[in-house]
């Protein structure tokens, strides 16, 4: 009977793949545009109305050996002082070595950094001695900025990874740079670029408003520590779409005081999946709300779609929807973890917690690398409320049955849900390790 049931599940899963295949074809077409970008972007919009300033005209060698930082700063200063639309060009076929750099606004002009070549970081962390070790390319206070061009940004992070305490526990834990940081920028666009091997996080938006990031390819080895693809913090009105992210940490992470975020048409893996949080560390009050992830393919990731909070924090994660997601060989496909503890030492039990409510998981199918495909592990004193499951089908990669686990998780389900719904709709809790024994109808699916 078990073999018959599992075979039926596989038939359903194949049918689901047929249904979603048009989406995957569309996704692959989107990524082709990242891989096969034109070397020059001047054919896009009104080339005659924009002035072009090439870093090569201001002393940049573009040979990957000479330091081109001063040339970058000089051309930025001029572009920022002008009016109208300005293109700052990093030409195709050249490699520009840029040391840690602080690029500030506001500017009178609307600037497009046309990165058609490659910008690389220094390989040796010693270059950051006496500087902020969390920054490499740091933009702040710039409005109406666009990064485009089909080129790449390479953080040369290998030496930083080797010194990480997460790679070698005998090493001291030190910060490492985020390759590309945007702080307090408005009306920002980042598109048609490849980000490689960041020292730590690849791209971060902090305190920004109105951001669109699209047609990006973000790549680092699965073993690289803390190399989140895209990190969103204290930022509002964000759209991330049509991108491929393969790193050693979260493909996309959304943290404190961020809202109105749309994520669509994303391929993620390897990495740690798409995460809300962590929230509430060190007893902080933090919130994330109004987030929609609509259309994603996750493969070989440590987690699928996740919400993680620390004990002792406060605030809330609310009005969050994950939908139209296909997973392949994903550990913890659906997870809420209110006992998150990323520490060398055990975390103390604490009564306060970030409130998790109004969370929906809709149309999520695929294969789980673990038996426990749904884990909703919520706070004793601040349970998860108004959780919603609809059309969920997650089966183990290597046969057998999938299970659900719920602790202090309240809500409802609709449509076909497998592994079976373990949410409680009344006071109390349901702790479930194996629903199949108490639900014989599942055997006849």
Catalytic residues: 272
Let me know: does 116 contact 39? Beta carbons within 8 Å: yes
* Structure tokens, 92: 């195709």
Let me know: does 154 contact 194? Beta carbons within 8 Å: no
Cis upstream peptide for 27 (omega within 30°):
no
**What is the greatest pairwise CA distance in the chain?**
75
Q: What distance in Å separates the CA atoms of residue 204 and residue 219, rounded to the nearest whole number?
A: 15
Residue owning tokens 């195709």: 92
* Structure tokens, 22: 């048009």
Residue owning tokens 């070549």: 117
Q: What distance in Å separates the CA atoms of residue 117 and residue 94, rounded to the nearest whole number?
A: 5
Q: What distance in Å separates the CA atoms of residue 232 and residue 205, rounded to the nearest whole number?
A: 5
Looking at the DSSP bridge assignments, the partners of residue 88 are 53, 113
Question: What SS3 class is residue 404?
Answer: strand
Question: What SS3 class is residue 20?
Answer: helix
- Sign of the alpha-carbon torsion through 70, 76, 81, 86: positive
Q: What distance in Å separates the CA atoms of residue 239 and residue 322, rounded to the nearest whole number?
A: 15
Let me know: does 218 contact 241? Beta carbons within 8 Å: no
Q: Count of CB atoms within 10 A of residue 370's CB?
A: 14
* Structure tokens, 319: 């009005």
Question: What SS3 class is residue 240?
Answer: strand
Q: What distance in Å separates the CA atoms of residue 5 and residue 1, rounded to the nearest whole number?
A: 6
Q: What distance in Å separates the CA atoms of residue 383 and residue 404, rounded to the nearest whole number?
A: 17
From residue 395, give the alpha-carbon distance in Å to each of 5, 272, 285. Answer: 11, 19, 37
Let me know: does 196 contact 154? Beta carbons within 8 Å: yes
Let me know: does 384 contact 356? Beta carbons within 8 Å: yes
* Structure tokens, 431: 């702790």
Q: What distance in Å separates the CA atoms of residue 36 and residue 335, rounded to the nearest whole number?
A: 36
């Amino acid at each position: 009977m078990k073999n018959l049931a599992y075979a039926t599940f596989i038939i359903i899963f194949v049918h689901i793949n047929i249904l979603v295949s048009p989406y995957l074809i569309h996704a692959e077409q989107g990524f082709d545009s990242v891989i096969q970008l034109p070397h020059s972007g001047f054919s896009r919009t009104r080339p005659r109305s924009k002035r072009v300033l090439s870093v090569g005209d201001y002393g940049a060698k573009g040979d990957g050996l000479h330091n081109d930082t001063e040339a970058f700063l000089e051309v930025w200063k001029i572009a920022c002082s002008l009016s109208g639309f300005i293109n700052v060009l990093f030409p195709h076929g050249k490699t520009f070595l840029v040391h840690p750099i602080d690029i500030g606004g506001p500017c009178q002009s609307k600037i497009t950094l046309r990165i058609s070549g490659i910008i690389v970081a220094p390989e040796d962390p010693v270059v950051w001695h006496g500087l902020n070790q969390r920054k490499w390319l740091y933009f702040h206070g710039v409005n109406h900025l666009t990064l485009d061009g089909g080129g790449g940004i390479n953080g040369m992070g290998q030496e930083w990874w080797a010194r990480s305490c997460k790679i070698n526990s005998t090493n001291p834990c030190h910060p490492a740079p985020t390759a590309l940081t945007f702080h307090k920028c408005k009306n920002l666009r980042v598109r048609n670029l490849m980000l490689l091997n960041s020292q730590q996080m690849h791209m971060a938006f902090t305190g920004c408003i109105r951001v669109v990031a699209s047609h990006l390819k973000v790549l680092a080895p699965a073993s690289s520590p803390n190399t989140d693809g895209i990190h969103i913090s204290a930022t509002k009105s964000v759209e991330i779409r049509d991108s491929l992210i393969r790193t050693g940490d979260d493909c996309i992470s959304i943290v404190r005081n961020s809202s109105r975020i749309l994520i669509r048409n994303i391929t993620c893996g390897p990495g740690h999946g798409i995460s809300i949080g962590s929230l509430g560390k060190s007893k902080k009050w933090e919130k994330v709300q109004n987030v929609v992830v609509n259309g994603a393919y996750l493969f070989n990731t440590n987690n699928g779609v996740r919400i993680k909070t620390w004990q002792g924090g406060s605030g809330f994660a609310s009005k969050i929807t994950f939908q139209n997601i296909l997973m392949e060989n994903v550990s913890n496909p659906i997870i809420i973890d209110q006992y998150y503890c990323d520490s060398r030492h055990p975390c103390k039990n604490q009564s306060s917690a970030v409130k998790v409510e109004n969370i929906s998981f809709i149309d999520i199918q695929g294969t789980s690398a673990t038996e426990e495909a749904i884990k909703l592990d919520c706070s004793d004193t601040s349970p998860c409320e108004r959780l919603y499951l609809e059309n969920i089908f997650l089966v183990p990669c290597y046969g057998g049955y999938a299970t659900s686990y719920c602790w202090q998780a309240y809500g409802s389900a609709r449509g076909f849900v497998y592994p079976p719904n373990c949410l409680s709709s009344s006071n109390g809790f349901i702790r479930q390790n194996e629903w199949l024994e108490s639900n014989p109808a599942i055997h006849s699916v």
